[in-house]
Amino acid sequence: MAAIKKQGFIFYFYTMKFWWVFLLALLFCIGCTSPKTKPKAPNVNWSEMDEPPLYPDCPKDNTKENWSCFTQIIQNKLNKKFASNRISDIELDTLYVTLKVDTIGQLSIMGYSNTKQGSIPLLVFSSVEEVVASLPRFQPAFKTNLEIPVEVHWTLPVAISK
């Protein structure tokens, strides 16, 4: 009788061990197949609430003053360039230059448009590109909450008048 009880205990012990292994394997499979929520990627596009790019030759205290100073400097340089190339005689009212400051502070031209529907002479494009290439690097824009540099695109109106 003791031998039968011992065999029953061993059978019960191995059966319980099997069920625990089966239960753990089942829970593992369910845990692996259930969809996991992926963390949402942060927004790394620049917005008005973030730190804008800063032009190194202008005051850095106020971003509006910095922007105003930059537009005045680029307009003055373009006016000098246009006067030396006699571009101011061309019938253009305003040329819109789309600029980009990348994550290392490099300024580049993304595109052009104008208020008049006529074609823009190549001399205007080359003059604008020369002036933009001569400018020093910007301090890049930063995401305020992430402190990572981001690209910024904007359109700068350039007056070409007689």
The H-or-E segment that residue 114 falls in is strand 107-114
pTM of the model: 0.64
Confidence (pLDDT) at 26: 76
pLDDT band at 31 (very low <50, low <70, confident <90, very high): low
CA angle centred on 85, ends 84 and 89, rounded to 5°? 105
What pLDDT was estimated at residue 64? 80
Residue 130 to residues 14, 27, 60, 68, 146, Cα–Cα distance (Å): 84, 67, 25, 21, 34
- HSE-up of 89 (CA within 13 Å, CB side)? 4
Confidence (pLDDT) at 54: 83
pLDDT tens-place string over residues 73-91: 888 888 888 777 666 555 6
Q: Note the pLDDT of residue 162.
A: 52
Domain boundaries, the chain: 1-28, 63-159
Mean pLDDT for all residues in the chain: 76
